Amino acid sequence: MRVMIVDDEDLARGLVREFLGKHADVEIVAECANGFDAVKAITELAPDLVFLDIQMPKLNGFEVVELAAGKSRYIFVTAFDQYALKAFEVHAVDYLLKPFNQLRFDEALAHARTSLRNSAGVAAMVSEAAARNVPLGRVLIRDGTRVHVIAVDKIDFIEAQDDYVRIHSEGKGYLKNQRLAELESQLDPAMFVRVHRSYLLNLGCISRIEQGKDSHSAILADGTRIPVSRSGYQKVRDLIG
């Protein structure tokens, strides 16, 4: 079994490494101290199992799972019990609450061995869970080996481009591999409205609505014009009165 350890605390990584040392069939392929390095390593090394801390600088454990995708299994390791429900919503193998002993650790590892016999990946599971959670507070976008973290209140509008979306924020555009309908379901409907089949618009960015001969357009503060369908116009009117 190829295993990775991700935790921002040296002592915590050392304990997992020590407990794994009791299992001769386990190979530790990498250790990471932050979420950005973890995403890169998981993507490149495709470990069977990742022992993953939740509260880390820059990216938390759930964001690592979302960005890394793939077929790796995850055991969350944390000192906080309030994340347990969310962990199992993304189909974590187990949830180790610090401090834990060798017996509890071995039990979690046994669960992982059983889970690895199941061929289903976690990417679809993460998307399914995200749709049930509270609205996103930020959107994560992979760009090669870089990760952009964009606060949703900084997003002006989102444009559909086949199986991708282009997220427009503060004068820049970021391409994300996700369908517009899926991202729409994860955002706050009181903030973002589908004004057109190809556009999702932040209501707070609307300067005015202009009516043309047969259609409407939303004019943003920077002068950008977004087409607004008949149903989209009604949605905007209902939300902003």
72 and 155, same domain (yes or no)? no
Distance CA 126, CA 91 (A): 8
Q: How many domains does the chain have?
A: 2
Q: What is the mean pLDDT of the chain?
A: 86
Which range has the worst mean pLDDT, 137-146, 148-157, 205-214? 137-146
Q: Which position has the higher pLDDT, 129 or 206?
A: 206
Confidence label for 118 from pLDDT (cuts 50, 70 and 90)? low
Judged against a pLDDT cut of 60, whether residue 198 lies above it is answered with yes
Confidence label for 121 from pLDDT (cuts 50, 70 and 90)? very low
109 and 161, same domain (yes or no)? no
Distance CA 9, CA 16 (A): 11
Give the range of the structural domain holding residue 114, as residue numbers without chain letter.
2-129
109 and 153, same domain (yes or no)? no
83 and 120, same domain (yes or no)? yes
Confidence label for 48 from pLDDT (cuts 50, 70 and 90)? very high
Which residue shows structure tokens 């870089």? 146
pLDDT computed for residue 145 by the predictor: 62
123 and 21, same domain (yes or no)? yes
Please give the full DSSP string across 94-150, using - where no structure is assigned.
Answer: EEEESS--HHHHHHHHHHHHHHTTS---SHHHHHHHHHHSSPPSEEEEEETTEEEEE
Total-model pTM: 0.62
Q: What's the CATH code of the domain at 194?
A: 2.40.50.1020
81 and 194, same domain (yes or no)? no
Q: What's the CATH code of the domain at 107?
A: 3.40.50.2300
pLDDT tens sequence across 56-90: 988 899 889 888 877 789 999 988 877 777 776 66
